[in-house]
Amino acid sequence: MNLRRITALLLRYLLLYRQSWTRIMEIFFWPVMDLLVWGFLTAYLLKVGSNRVPALITFLIGSMIFWDLLYRAQQSVTISFLEDVWARNLLNIFVAPVTIAEFLTATFALGVIKVLVNGLILALLAWLLYSFNVFQLGFTLIPFVLSLMLMGWAMGMVTVALIMRWGHAAEALAWGIPFLIQPISAVFYPVSVLPSWLQAVAWTLPSTYVFEGMRQVLATGQAPWHMFWWSLGLNVVYLVAAGVFFEYMFRVVRRKGLLAKLGME
Amino acid sequence: MTNAPVIEVHDLVKTFNGTTAVDHLGFTAARGEILGLLGPNGAGKTTAIQMLLGIIEPTSGTIRILGKDIARHRIAILSRINFSSAYVSLPQNLRVIDNLRIFAGIYGVANWREKAVELMRLFEIERFATRKTGQLSSGESTRLHLCKALLNDPELLLLDEPTASLDPDIADKVRKLLRRIQRERGITVLYTSHNMLEIEEICDRVIFLHHGRKMAEGSPREVIARFNEQTLEQVFIRIARDGELQSAEKKSDA
Ligand SMILES: Nc1ncnc2c1ncn2[C@@H]1O[C@H](COP(=O)(O)OP(=O)(O)OP(=O)(O)O)[C@@H](O)[C@H]1O
Ligand SMILES: [Mg+2]
């Protein structure tokens, strides 16, 4: 791993923002839209009135923010790759002395930056609009966020591998893959809602522990650290598996001569 | 500096589920040589070049570049060579100078700004430095791409139809530049093009491929003489129209 190359790759993505207002707008767009929807829903529910509502809303907003972070982490890896496909620049990168690990690390670093910015905007807006103070929860949630990002990264790697192999046909997956796990990993409701066989599946996903843990933090103010460690452990397994899968697919793609064909179908 | 060949390709085969794109190809390229890789559409030129770059895995055979096996030393080799082609481009929404800066970073170029300016001057695109890459004409972006390809002072340059979109004037300038750079720096160039006049002008040696097989090899003059033709273009057409020529030639040689 060469830090200089990773920085250069990262610069390639960051400089895009200097050149484009639409990209900068995009950073604000999703958090603002998300919060508006949840904000109006909150207002409505409060009008309908029930004393259970505030807690429920806190859960929902928390879930929404966390889901957004997971989605952004996956997207940053996937979209970075697609940018190079669309720009017909992928070959330039892969004929340069860039290892797969360096390439992926750069996209991950971009993800961290994006999520940081996104998270701050979300937190700020949630606080301004709904007096929902993320930081009041203490910093206990931060490890959970990090774990979530690792999972987003693993999903991103798998998505990119699939796009490399199947090209345009697989591009839809770039947007869809996170939603595959959304129903199972108990994003907006507790795992106990799921039928028991599905619960078993849910507990194989790192994200489930994060979302359950997040709700416990919100409900009790106490972090269930065993949940965090489980998610972290599973993430390590997922990341290694995603890395192996990526390497394997890269070899298949090289054997089939698909790298130069990407984006040209 | 050693006198070992810069490229050594031995018995290279690539089949894509059934079709043979490169068929038992063997050749070498010496330091400082401009070698033309010619042949009709689908002859296997691009496939061969991409195997040299390590982005297509050969079915069998070996490739050594700068004395190292590409299968085992891909990254080390890639840092000492470079590539340009009409079918790749640099990110359109970045400024010209930013693109050069990024690739200079990737290749670990020490004084990136100096190097970038020097190359942009050489290819007469320095006035576009702060323009967005997407605003360049195709000829201008071809030249930018050649700047990118020279950023790391490569010892070997692989060029897959680099002049495809250049007007005759600029194409001529680019050829002269490549010649000059090759002379001054002893750089080796592997070059594909469908423009036979250009090949005659620039290449020290050519290899003709047809259906992935090597049909002829030698200096343009040698090849023209061996085929009893006047121009390389006529040789090309004969090879393209009659893939069996090689065996006929072999018989007449005997
Ligand atoms: N990824 C691939 N999968 C399957 N077949 C391929 C692939 N890439 C190339 N081929 C086939 O291999 C053969 C050689 O193709 P290649 O692109 O190397 O030709 P070329 O000499 O570069 O042609 P052109 O002058 O048109 O650029 C062709 O028959 C082509 O259809
Ligand atoms: Mg070609």
Q: Is B61 helix (H, G, I), strand (E, B) or coil?
A: strand
Ligand 1 atom closest to Cα of B22?
14
Q: Which of B55, B79, B107 faces A94 most closely, judged by CB atoms?
A: B55
User: pLDDT for A91-102, tens place per residue?
Assistant: 999 999 999 999
Q: Is B236 helix (H, G, I), strand (E, B) or coil?
A: helix
Judge: A97–B79 Cβ closer than 8 Å, yes or no: yes
- Computed from CA positions of residues B162, A83, B52, B215, in that sequence, does the dihedral angle turn out positive or negative? negative
Other Cβ atoms less than 10 A from the Cβ of B99: the count is 26
Q: Which CATH superfamily is domain B1-80+185-254 in?
A: P-loop containing nucleotide triphosphate hydrolases (3.40.50.300)
Mean pLDDT of A236-246: 95
CA angle (B173 as vertex; B167, B178 as ends), nearest 5: 120
Please tell me the distance between residue B192's alpha carbon and the centre of ligand 2 in angstroms. Answer: 8
Mean pLDDT of B57-72: 96
Tell me the one-letter amino acid at B171.
Answer: A
Query: Dihedral, CA atoms, A117, A119, A125, A129, nearest 10 degrees?
Result: 180
CA B133/CA B98 separation, integer angstroms: 9
Comparing CA positions, the residue from B50, B93, B99 lying closest to residue B74 is: B50
- Asked if residue B156 has pLDDT above 60, the reply is yes
- Asked if residue A50 has pLDDT above 70, the reply is no
Strands B68-69 and B60-65: antiparallel
Tell me the count of A-B CB pairs closer than 8 A: 101
Strand arrangement of the beta sheet that strand B7-16 belongs to? B19-29, B7-16, B60-65, B68-69
Q: What is the pTM of this model?
A: 0.89
Which residues of chain B does A89 touch, with a Cβ-Cβ cutoff of 8 Å? 88-91
State phi, psi for B17 to the nearest 5 degrees.
15, 75
Give the closest ligand to the alpha carbon of residue B39.
1
What is the percent of chain A with per-residue pLDDT over 90, rounded to a whole number?
41
For residue A43, what are the domain limits?
3-264
Domain boundaries of chain B, sorted by first residue: 1-80+185-254
CA B191/CA B158 separation, integer angstroms: 6
- The number of domains in chain A is 1
Task: Give the pair of three-digit tokens for residue B43.
Answer: 């002859």
What is the ipTM, given to two decimal places?
Answer: 0.89
